[in-house]
Amino acid sequence: MDDDEPPPYPGVEDAPPPYSTVTSHITLQDGCPSTPPPPYPGTKPWFVRPPYILQQPPPGSQNRLPPHAAQRHPAVITQPVGIVVTRFTDRPVRTRCPHCQEVVETWLEYRTGAMAWFICILLFLFGVWPCCVLPLCVDSYKDVIHLCPYCHSKLGSFRRM
């Protein structure tokens, strides 16, 4: 194959320059262009790469350590303990049980709470007394207790009122 440029298309007067002439001035340094591309006309460049100056240490000082570095102290690394706050809702939640340290999806236990009793009393007062016990049977009016499925400890609760 020749490195000749392909012939221009017929009827194209303003063809772009060939790739080899556009990229001939770009030199690569560590796989990156040594100079950034020029900015678009009418804009200011927002980043200017600082020049890199590599300084060599003076001869004979390559293996010398400062006096404080000669003393070896064990490195103590403390890792902050994150507190994860889980918002309990009326649906099962994936959380870590603080008792058995397992990552679990909580079991739900429904208990009659203030919302169920409030609706029960309202139904009774408005004369729908035959149906006033229905809120005590419907889970969507009850409070929700979240339990660990492994150790059965209470992880949290969701109160409707």
What are the structural domain ranges in the chain? Answer: 94-158
**Model pTM score:** 0.48
Angle, vertex CA 139, rays to CA 136 and CA 145, nearest 5: 105
What are the pLDDT digits (tens) for 16-53? Answer: 777 767 666 666 666 666 666 666 676 665 666 666 66
113, 84 contact by CB (below 8 A): no
DSSP-based three-state secondary structure for 109? strand
Mode of pairing for the β-strands spanning 103-105 and 28-29:
unpaired
**Locus of tokens 């303990």:** 81
Question: Where does 55-126 have alpha helices with state H?
Answer: 67-70, 114-125
Each residue's pLDDT tens digit, 70-90: 566 666 777 666 666 688 999
